[in-house]
Amino acid sequence: MADQWRADFYSNNVLFDDISAVASTFSDYKVWPDLNDYNALLKHLVGDICSPSGIPLKFIPQADKSHKQHDNYEARIYLKGEIQTRLQNWHDFFQVMVWSTYPLCKQLINKIHFEAYTKRRNSHQRTTVENSLTLFDECGVIIVSQDKQLLELVQKFKWQQLFIENRHAFNRTIKCFTFGHALLEKFLNPYIGMTAHCIFLEVDDGLFDLCLSDQQKQIDKLAASYFKEHNNISPRELHPFPLLGIPGWDSRNENPAYYQNTDYFRTGRRNAS
C-alpha cells in the first residue's frame, strides 16, 4: 500500500532540520514526486554523479527480487548505477534525500558493501562489514565536535553530563547530523526509545561558522574518509545514541528528570562483556 504524501512533513519539526531545505523542493507537490523528480533533484544538488565503478547514478523502479549475485540492491548501484526506488514510499523518499545530501559517503559505503559482498562468493551469509554498513545506512548519525571531551561523554554513556551540564554546547561545539534514511522515516512519528548508531568526527571550530549546506558538504567528505579508513567496520564501532536527549529534539527534555529514564538513557551497552 502507498504511504500518504505530506508535503509539509518537515514543517515545525526540528528533527528534519538537516533535510528541510532539500525537502522544500517538493513543498508545493499535491501528490508524491516521481522518479523524474528524484533524478532531477540529484542532478541539481550533486551534479554528474557516478557509482564507484564509474556508471552515472540514477533512481530506477524497484525490481522483483533476484537470486543472481549481481542483481541485488548494492550490486546494481555499483555495477549499473541503478538505485532501486519504491514510489509513494517514505522509506525510499528519505533514501533520495540522503543521496542528495551526502553523496560521497553513500558512494563509499556502496563500494565497501559491494566488495564485502563479492568476497563471500556463493555464500548467503552476510558479512560483519555488510551488517555494520546496513545498520549505519539505515539508522546512522554522525556526531561531530571540536571538543574531544564532549565526544567522550557519548562514548562513555555520560548522558547527564552531556545533555544537562553541556546543553549550551549543542549546535555550537557539538552537533548531530542524521544519515540513516530509516531513522528519518521514524522521525515522522518519533517515540521514546528511538536510538541511532553513530560515528564520531573531530572537526575544527570553523565548521560551526558555516551555513548548514556547507557544513553538510564538509561532513560528507569527512564521513567518506572515515569509512575509507574503517573499511572493516564492525557493529560495535557504531555507538548507540539516544536521539531525543538532544536539547530541543523533544520538548519534554527541558525537565532534567527526563534523563532519569535508564531504559532509554542506558549506562552502557546491553550484554557488554
pLDDT in tens, 174-210: 999 999 999 999 999 999 999 999 999 999 989 999 9
CA gap 252, 85 in Å, rounded: 36
Cα dihedral value 69, 73, 79, 81, nearest 10: 160
Residues β-bridged to residue 144: 175, 201
> H or E stretch including 40?
helix 35-46
Read off the pLDDT of residues 129-151 as tens digits, 9 standing for 90 and up. Answer: 999 999 999 999 999 999 999 99
Q: What is the pTM of this model?
A: 0.94
> Where do the domains of the chain lie?
18-132, 135-260
Gap between the Cα atoms of 45 and 102, Å rounded: 10
Helix orientation angle between 73-80 and 103-119, rounded to the nearest 10 degrees? 110
Average pLDDT, the chain: 93
CB 173, CB 146: distance < 8 Å = yes
CA distance linking residue 3 with residue 62, whole number of Å: 16
What pLDDT does 273 receive?
35
Residue whose entry in the numeric block shows the C-alpha cell 546491553: 270
What gap in Å lies between CA 94 and CA 109, rounded to an integer? 17
**What is the tens place of the pLDDT at every residue in 216-229?**
999 999 999 999 99
Q: What is the pLDDT of residue 6?
A: 96
- Interatomic CA distance for residues 123 and 126, integer angstroms: 8
pLDDT confidence of 65, banded at 50, 70, 90?
low
Residue range 22-35: mean pLDDT, rounded: 97
Q: Which three cell numbers stand for residue 151?
A: 565526544
Using H for helix, E for strand and C for coil, what is the string for 172-238? Answer: CCEEEEECCHHHHHHCCCCCCCCEEEEEEEECCHHHHHCCHHHHHHHHHHHHHHHHHHCCCCCHHHC
Residue 156 CA to its chain's centroid (Å): 22
The span from the CA of 271 to the CA of 273, in Å, is 6
- Answer yes or no: is pLDDT of 42 > 70: yes
Strands 58-61, 82-85: pairing kind: parallel
122 Cβ contact partners less than 8 Å away, ≥ 6 residues apart? 69
